[in-house]
Structure 1
Amino acid sequence: MSNTKFEKLEGNRVKLTMTISKEQFEKAMDAAFNDVVKDVQMEGFRKGHVPRPIFEKKYGKESLYNDAIDKVLPDAYRDALEEHDVLPVAYPQINIEKFEPENEIIITAEVAVKPEVALGNYKGLKVEKLDIVASKEDIEAEIDKLKERFAEMVVKDAKGKVEDGDTAVIDFEGFKDGVAFEGGKGENYPLTIGSGSFIPGFEEQLIGAKAGDAVEVKVTFPEQYQAADLAGQDVVFNVTVHEVKHRVLPELSDDFVEELDMENVKTLEDLQAYAKEQAETAKQSEADSHLRNEVLRLATEGTKVDIPEEMVDAQVDHMIQDFERQLSMQGMQLAQYLEMTGSDEAAVREQMRPDAANQILTSLTLEAIAEAEGIAVTDEDVNAEMQKMSEMYGIEIDELKKMLPNLDGMKQDLVIQKAIDFLIDNVK
């Protein structure tokens, strides 16, 4: 173990000073040489069997220094963290303050640490609970969702005007300063009004038009539009409306119920009961979400904590990774998304920072509540969660345990959930 010192800096940062002895560094040099020599071939020696003195004579001791530092530093840093009970929340900034292999090496690591949390009031929070009884309108809305699945697109007659939600089949061509621009032309394009598919302001200007109408649409491209020559520019689109379609829902009847072909829904009365159950399930879910969000908001309102910027940076990194996974599931890469939206990663990261900081604040608050209330995770809690995962993913528990040899992450998530449950159980 290296000799270490601890110094507290401003802004939830600490400085660890690690002194590596001559003997420790020599062991690291041996390990570095043993790795490097495997690929060394010199005349008179088999590959990987060059003696160290011969190697150092040709390449110099210095050629092993970086590798030796890489060998000795991780253990020295880990030992320093453990000795001084430091919980880092970011990668350290490493500096070599003194490098004398024949005497000693002094390395410093400055790192952001988990901040201290001062809790505000979190017990007996007052939250107005939402009504979970389904109204007539809620039930009708659920039935309308089912009717939407069987809706038909019907062409309006010649006098039928474009309304929000209709689909207008159009030809269009865009002009900037009277000159047609590339990519601004389309024919027989089915544009759903209100879909947000076109430039802001375009779709709204078609409302009221009829089949056969010619419409002049004036819009301004967004400042962040991907085509630099059009970004922020005023343009005019000449639009011809060929036809207007609207969605027609089926009538509520026994025939419609039969067409649904749903188990346990054979009559209009059954459909009403089903819709009521669906509506109340949705309202219960909304009420639960509202209660959870409100207790978290109120519990964090009084929390006082100085969150290190590095902690926010790390959370943004996680959010970017999650976003990239979501995009990949849609068959899109982050670079494509940025090009489509005319943005860049720096701007996206900046937009994410407030949410990242709030997520950290919430997590730190819940961890502090769990500690203050002595909330802990038992073996029974872990086993119950494993059972839930087994049923959800169809994987045997023994297999899950092999896939999850380290359960620290699961235990931490369970502690957080139990802290939320505590807040909810104590709501007034």
Structure 2
Amino acid sequence: MQVKETQNEGLKRGYQFTLPAAELAATVDAKLKEAQPEIEMKGFRKGKVPMAMLKKQFGPRILGEAMQDAIDGALRQHLQDSGDRPATQPKVEMENGDGWKEGDDVVVNVSYEALPAIPEVDLGGLKLEKLTVPAEESAITEALENLAKSAQNFEDRRKGSKAKDGDQVVIDFKGFVDGEAFEGGAAEDYPLVLGSNSFIPGFEAQLVGAKVEDEVKVEVTFPEEYGAPHLAGKDAVFDCTVKAVKAPKPAEIDDELAKKFGAEDLDALKTQIAERLEREYAGAARAILKRSLLDQLDERVKFDLPQSLVEAEAAQIAHQLWHEDNPEVHDHDHGSIEPTDEHKKLAERRVRLGLLLAEIGQKAEVTVSDQEMTQAVLQAARQYPGQERAFFEFIQQNQAAQQQLRAPLFEDKVVDHIAGQAEVSEKKVSKEELEKAVEALDEL
């Protein structure tokens, strides 16, 4: 196999591989001779089939396999000798593919972008600030009050009282579309909390001010994306009878409330809340530290980037942000989305940091254990209740899906490794200061 360099500009590489016809023919003959003793054919004893007949019957397939093996082997050898690591799958094209015939040399053009050499970075020179937030009594009290509100009961208001937002009304109702009652549009003694937005938009607001024994005609329009297609976008009228108006009464903050939430007593519940809050604060503080770490790395380390990776990342960013701006579109049956300069700038940062973290992690021998992967799969499976088994099978059979779960685990472990080498100082801040710091992350 002859190899000739055709491009070497920046990270772009191009090579022409030439496989002489004589070498290819010799390979085919060798493969046929190797297989000959085991081949049986009508009219011939096993192993006695003439080579000419073998070549006629099996030659084209063996020839194709030999060509592919030769090209793959040449590419592997070239990458081993050059030390290049392609950023994406190399592009392999047969130059004379359309007019090639047996007896011709095989000429193949190979092109790719090589991953750049990643410069060393002094991790000890990074200065990081770790924010710490204690669980203050006021935050614990606020959490307790929210729990009490979520466990609230409802008590009948004084006779003749008008329903307010937040009240519970007990109603009988029956719905009509085009004057006809529809299936699923009626109920009796239904408890509805006004302002909960659990009914069709506009329904609950029309019951504000109603009293016991009032009969209210509620006029609404089903949303265009309503789950039942035959009702989507239709105008409807609901005949409602108010049977009770109840005011919310938060549960008492006591041992009984604690037991409702699985704690032994109120003190134990407070301890659980404090621990949960501090875990949440620690998670937010880590996100802030990680952003600072990545910002410093991005500022200190510069190197050429494979444009194929940058373009792919920019396209993905543009596509993701487009769907966030158009949440009503759930499929990908839409026109081309052109990345902006801002998308490309963000893509360059992500690719640069991704390559840098991968290099640091590889040199530090950072790995993701099987146990850590199992935990990640279990956590991801919780998003698909009732379909956990199907999700596990999908992950087992899909290397790309496994990589999507492994990548953030690997990145976090590399970040921890870098933080362990950096100069880290602690700073105690309030919950409000932490929240402002987290908000600032979204603004960048």
Question: How far has the Cα of 1:259 moved from its partner?
Answer: 4.8
Number of the residue aligned with 1:57: 56
Q: 1:83 aligns with which of 81, 85, 104?
A: 81
CA distance in 2, matches of 1:348, 1:427: 49
1:343 is the counterpart of 2:330: yes
Match of 1:29 in 2: 28
Q: Cα–Cα, structure 1 residues 411 and 257, in superposed 2: closer, same or farther, change >3 Å?
A: closer
Instruction: Label 1:101 to 1:58 Cα distance change in 2 as closer, same or farther (>3 A).
Output: closer
Task: Give the corresponding residue for 1:71.
Answer: 69
AA aligned opposite 1:206 = E
Give deviations 1:156-180, integer Å, cap 9, x for gaps: 768334549x8998968797xx799
Alpha-carbon distance in structure 2 between the residues aligned to 1:83 and 1:301:
33
CA shift for structure 1 position 66: 2.4
Q: Which residue of 2 aligns with 1:296?
A: 294
Q: In structure 2, what is the equivalent of residue 366 of structure 1?
A: 357
**Equivalent position amino acid for 2:357 in 1:** L
> Does residue 225 of structure 2 align to residue 214 of structure 1?
no
The answer for the alignment partner of 1:132 in structure 2 is 133
Give distance in 2, aligned partners of 1:288 and 1:115: 30
Q: Which aligned pairs between 1:100-119 and structure 2 lie closer than 5 A?
A: 102=103, 104-115=105-116
Residue-by-residue CA offset, 1:230-264 (whole Å, 9 max, x unaligned) = 99xx75444556778997653111333355553xx
- Identity over aligned pairs, percent: 20
Q: Alpha carbons of 1:128 and 1:144: their partners in 2 closer, same or farther (altered >3 Å)?
A: farther
Judged with a 3 Å threshold, the aligned counterparts in structure 2 of structure 1 residues 28 and 169 are, in CA distance, closer, same or farther, namely farther
Aligned to 1:215, the other structure's residue is in SS state strand
RMSD of aligned Cα (Å)? 5.8
Whole-angstrom distance in 1 between the partners of 2:46 and 2:227: 55
Preserved contact between residue 19 and residue 107 of structure 2 (Cα < 8 Å): yes
- Residue 92 of structure 2 aligns to a residue whose secondary structure is strand
**In the alignment, which residue of structure 1 is the partner of 2:13?**
14
CA shift for structure 1 position 139: 0.9
Whole-angstrom CA distance in 1 between matches of 2:223 and 2:370: 56
Unmatched 5+ stretches in structure 2: 321-326, 377-405, 428-444
TM-score (norm 2): 0.58
Distance 2:26 2:195 in 1: 70
Q: CA offset at residue 411 of structure 1?
A: 8.7
Sort the Cα spacing of 1:197 and 1:387 in 2 relative to 1 into closer, same or farther, 3 A: same
Q: Normalization by structure 1: what TM-score? A: 0.60
Q: 1:357 to 1:245 in 2, by over 3 A?
A: farther
Query: How many angstroms does 1:138 deviate by?
Result: 2.0
1: distance between equivalents of 2:51 and 2:43? 14
Q: Is 1:5 matched up with 2:8?
A: no
What do the CA deviations read for 1:31-77 (whole angstroms, capped 9, x no partner)?
77589999987432478985542033357x44543222222222111
2:95 aligns to what SS in structure 1? Answer: strand
Q: CA deviation at 1:301?
A: 5.4
What residue is the counterpart of 1:272 in the other structure?
270
Residues 17-416 of structure 1 mapped to structure 2, 5 A cutoff = 17-22=16-21, 24-26=23-25, 28-30=27-29, 42-45=41-44, 50-58=49-57, 61-98=59-96, 102=103, 104-115=105-116, 130-144=131-145, 147=148, 151=151, 154=154, 159-163=162-166, 186-188=185-187, 203=201, 206-207=204-205, 209-210=207-208, 213-218=216-221, 221=224, 236-239=235-238, 249-262=250-263, 265-266=264-265, 268-300=266-298, 304=302, 305-310=304-309, 313=312, 342-345=329-332, 359-367=350-358, 370=360, 376-377=363-364, 415=414
Aligned residues: 369
Q: Following the alignment from structure 1 to structure 2, what is the Cα–Cα distance between the partners of residues 170 and 37?
A: 86
Alpha-carbon separation, structure 1, partners of 2:34 and 2:153: 70
Shift of 1:120: 10
| Deviation sequence 1:299-358 (CA, Å, 0-9, x none) | 3356655343356648999xx9xx9xxxxxxxxxxxxxxxx9643246699699968766
Offset of residue 134 of structure 1: 1.7
